[in-house]
Amino acid sequence: MQTVGGHGTIPALSPILRFAANAARDQRALRRAIKRMPTPVPWDWASTRLVPLLSGPRFDEPGLSIVRARSAIGPVVEFGLDLGGVFAIVDQAVADRWECSPDQLLARGLANLRDWAADVDTNQVVTGVMSGRSIRLLMDRPAWASSTLLDRDALARLFGGHDQILAAPTTSTLVSLPFDTPDRVAADIVVDLEGSPLTSLFLDPFVLEGGVLRWVGDARDEDDDLLSERS
């Protein structure tokens, strides 16, 4: 298997699926998961495992375009098949074979996400301190923790509906910081949680204020800086 930056392709399966793992140690689990996958992957099998994942920085290989869609909260998502904590990423060739558009994949993935997120126990959100600030963290369980941002009901149940800063350092990490956390401190905490550049999503944070979730990456200019404008 060839791997670059935590992402790999399997020559025997390409262009059916692209495979992603969050860290080097996950590669063994990824290989085991690949062996258990049916080929070609049928929609009935895949549809129950489909989940939208916030997209990190990467470029498609020639002829292997990954299917992406813009989420309602702003960032682009791609679509993973959950193979037990590692994800097979859906490319255009397999989506075409399933006769599914990005919107159809997004709808099915969000439905799965809502069902799965409802089973995440609030005890899985842990409290800690970084840079002198109290933070709350959902990490590794589930492996798609950052996708919780796409499910407002689950987000409110796990983190509350009060004003706060939310960030997705990696696919498997979602962190909540106090609303009054200075920008520099918030950035330092997120960078520390990103770990390796191979796993980081490199996403701007989100601001939950007055019940409205906004992505800082959608700020149009300096006058619309969602972090700096906090009172």
How distant, in Å, are the alpha carbons of 66, 120, 218 from that of 156? 31, 12, 22
Let me know: does 77 contact 150? Beta carbons within 8 Å: yes
Return all residues near 41 (Cβ < 8 A) that are at least 6 apart. 16, 17, 81, 88, 94
pLDDT, residue 18, reads 41
pLDDT, residue 7, reads 41
pTM of structure: 0.84
Q: Walk along the chain (231 residues) and give the pLDDT tens digit of each residue.
A: 222 233 443 333 333 344 444 455 566 777 777 778 888 899 999 999 999 999 999 889 888 899 999 999 999 999 999 988 888 899 999 999 999 999 999 999 999 999 999 999 999 999 999 999 999 999 988 999 999 999 999 999 999 999 999 999 999 999 999 999 999 999 999 999 987 666 789 999 999 999 999 999 887 554 455 565 555
